Amino acid sequence: MIVMLPEWLTPLLSEQTVKLLEYLTNGKHLAWYASFRYTVIAAVAGGLLAVVFGLLGASLKQSKWAPLRWIGNIYTTMVRGIPDVLFLLFFPLAFEQFVEWMWAYQSCTPEERAMATGWPLCDNAQWLLSSTEYLILACFSFGIVYGAFAANVIYGAMRAVPKGQLEAAHAFGFSSSQVFWHFQVRQMWVYALPGLSNVWLSLIKATSLLSLLQIVDIVQWAGRLGAPNYLPMAGLVHPDWRWKYYFVLFLLYILMTYLSERFFAYLQKRASRGMVRAS
Amino acid sequence: MDLTAIPFFNDLVTLFKPALFNIYFALASIPFGFPFAILLALAKTSSKRWLRWPAEVFIYAFRGSPLFIQFFMFYSLMLSFNQTLWKPLGVSEFVLHPLFIGPIVLVLNTSAYAAEIFYGALRSIPKGEIEAARATGMNTWQEFWVVKWPNMLRLAWPAYTNEVVFLFHATALVYFTLPVIDEQKDLMNKASELFKQDYALFVHFSAAAVYFLIISMLIFWVSSLFYKYLTRHLNTNRSIKLKPNYLR
């Protein structure tokens, strides 16, 4: 680390500052900074998947066929009475068990399946997930849960698109699916943006829960680094510093919220170019 | 039919006591969070900068960061005072207990969210009513109790109900962050524990979900009764419905 500092700077810094810089750039801290990628990946991939699931949920809600509409309504209302953390834990585990159950029919003998009392049904049908796989499952989990929120937003936005525009498209001879995709979905983004911004802010905050899904993310690392650090060689490096590390995360999340708000304000400004706004 | 033979009903019985912990955390936070949120909202609408500014910072910080981190931060902060403060005073058992710290963090969190709701309600009070109060010579205190308070409560109630439901959902995070003492477990905690015993995911998690669902619906129901009381003077022909938001 010290090598990376420009030569003229080193004498200006006190010994303590250099020590602190060394401490903050040791291997464990670099691993902590690097683990931020999990948060970013989960937020971005989860957010994109949430929009996909949101579109799906909204079009189900809008469906002409009643059973599809029911599925859409159940999907979008279930998140209202049940905490998101329950779903976040549930979906990865459910998928894991589903895969293991499928495997059990391939790799277990019928006797083993019949004898099994617990889970997995036999040793061959056990799926030990790597952290990449956990991360993918976590992204889908975020996508499904926040997709339900997004579906509500998108559904409302779709209905806010002026009817006349859709009728005009129909009159020009576009088919129903063309009207849906090229007019309704394209026009609704302006109305959906404020709501989607809120979904995104909730999603960012939910990324702090990654450590519950067996991922060694920034929160997990902060706990490890902050714990009282004793080395036989050096003595007590530092006492319990956990609150300092968590405070850094606290500030980091506030910063992410602030930047997201700025970004969505910019998007909103751009998306509503040329629109007549009631001031 | 023997209900005890059905795992789901067994779970509902097992999870009854854990559900009380969730209810405790919510019930212990609301009486403090509600007045604190109103004070914060009033501070945010204040014209004095030294009042407005801290309230704005507090609300932004606690709405802009995850509750999960707030729990960790607050708990480790309290722990760091253990040797110097709590132990000499002999209160570390009490002060570091999850049943004490949990509600504190929930109060800080929920009051930030609720303050934003009350702030919005305070700003949408009809200007004419406030002017009328001033014209009749009310002082600030009277103006608040006669005009602002009833209006604010009525305007903010549906959104505040929503916030209470989210607060109840947030109690699921308490024992993920704070130490679990003996058999003091909440719904999520107990459900995860049951899951680790027999891996029957659907049974345990849906039993926990049923508790959350029923209690959330109870909150909506009780609150809609109160909302009816609040709006009894408004001659609306349509039945008054709470329209909860999906997001916090």
Handedness of CA B58, B60, B65, B67 (dihedral sign): positive
CATH of domain A34-217: 1.10.3720.10
What whole-number distance in Å separates Cα of residue A252 and Cα of residue A205?
Answer: 11
Let me know if residue B203 belongs to a domain: no
Residues on chain B touching A209 (C-beta within 8 angstroms): 66, 68
Per DSSP (E only), the strands in A148-279 are 229-231, 235-238
Contacts of A195 in chain B (CB under 8 A): 247
List residues of chain B with CB under 8 Å from any CB of chain A.
60-61, 63-70, 72-73, 76-77, 79-80, 165, 169-170, 172-173, 176, 188, 192, 195, 198-199, 201-202, 205, 208-209, 212-213, 216-217, 244, 246-248
Q: Provide the Cα torsion A65, A70, A71, A77; round to 10°.
A: 140
Q: Is residue B204 part of a domain?
A: no
Residue percentage of chain A with pLDDT more than 70: 94
Interacting residues of A83 by C-beta distance below 8 A, sequence separation 6+: B169, B170, B172, B188, B212
The answer to whether residues B198 and B136 touch, using CB atoms and an 8 Å cutoff, is: no
* Interchain pair B246, A84: CB under 8 A: no
pLDDT tens per residue across span B112-147: 999 999 999 999 999 999 999 999 999 989 999 999
| pLDDT tens readout for residues A135-165 | 999 999 999 999 999 999 999 999 988 899 9
Whole-number Cα distances in Å, B113 to A94, A114, A169, B50, B247: 32, 52, 43, 21, 11
At residue B228, the 3 state secondary structure works out as: helix
* CA-based torsion, B94, B96, B98, B104: positive or negative: positive
Average pLDDT over residues B161-167: 92
Residue B181 φ/ψ, nearest 5 degrees: -105, 120
- Residues B202, A94: C-beta atoms closer than 8 Å: yes
Best CA proximity match to B203, nearest among B13, B5, B7, B2: B7
Note the pLDDT tens digit of each residue in A231-271: 777 777 788 889 999 999 999 999 999 999 999 999 988 88
A90·B205 Cβ contact <8 A? yes
Residue B235 has a pLDDT of 66
At B93, the pLDDT band (50, 70, 90 cuts) reads confident
Count helices and strands (H / E) in chain A. 12, 2
Average pLDDT in chain A = 87
Give B83 to chain A, closest Cα distance, Å.
11
Whether the predicted pLDDT of B238 surpasses 70: no
Q: How many CB atoms lie within 10 A of CB A3?
A: 5
Tell me whether residues A247 and B73 touch, CB distance under 8 A. Answer: yes
Catalogue the E-assigned strands of A36-154: none
Asked whether the beta carbons of B190 and B15 are under 8 A apart, the reply is: yes
Q: How many domains does chain B have?
A: 1
Question: d(Cα A18, Cα A24) in Å, to the nearest integer?
Answer: 10
Check A253 against B69: CB less than 8 A apart: yes
Q: Collapsing DSSP states into helix, strand and coil, what is residue B150?
A: helix
- Bond preceding residue A120 cis, omega within 30 of 0: yes
* pLDDT per residue as tens digits for the range B221-237: 999 889 888 888 876 64
Calculate the dihedral angle through the C-alpha atoms of B81, B85, B87, B92, rounding to the nearest 10 degrees.
-60
Asked whether B175 and B189 are in contact (CB, 8 A), the reply is yes
Other C-beta atoms closer than 10 Å to the C-beta of B81 total 15
pLDDT of A279: 44
pLDDT band at B244 (very low <50, low <70, confident <90, very high): low
Question: Sorting pLDDT into bands at 50, 70 and 90, what band is B14?
Answer: confident
Residue B177 lies in a domain: yes
Torsion of CA A119, A124, A125, A128, to 10 degrees: 90
Measured distance CA(B20)–CA(B24) in Å, rounded: 6
Q: Domain of B32: which CATH number?
A: 1.10.3720.10
Q: How far A132 CA lies from chain B's nearest CA (Å)?
A: 22
- Residue B174 to residue B101: CA distance in whole angstroms: 9
Q: Say if residues B203 and B11 touch (Cβ distance below 8 Å).
A: yes
Whether B42 maps to a domain, the answer reads: yes
In a domain, B231, yes or no: no
**B85, B80, B110, B242: which is closest to B173 by C-alpha?**
B110
Chain A residues touching B60 at Cβ < 8 A: 254
Give bridge partners of residue A238 from the DSSP assignment: A229
Q: Which of A79, A90, A119 sits opposite B246 (nearest CB)?
A: A79
Give the range of the structural domain holding residue B103, as residue numbers without chain letter: 20-185
Residues 6+ apart with CB under 8 A from B214: none
Specify the DSSP element, H or E, that contains A231.
Answer: strand A229-231
Q: Which of B22, B60, B58 is nearest to B165 (CA)?
A: B22
Q: In terms of CA atoms, which chain B residue is nearest residue A257? A: B64
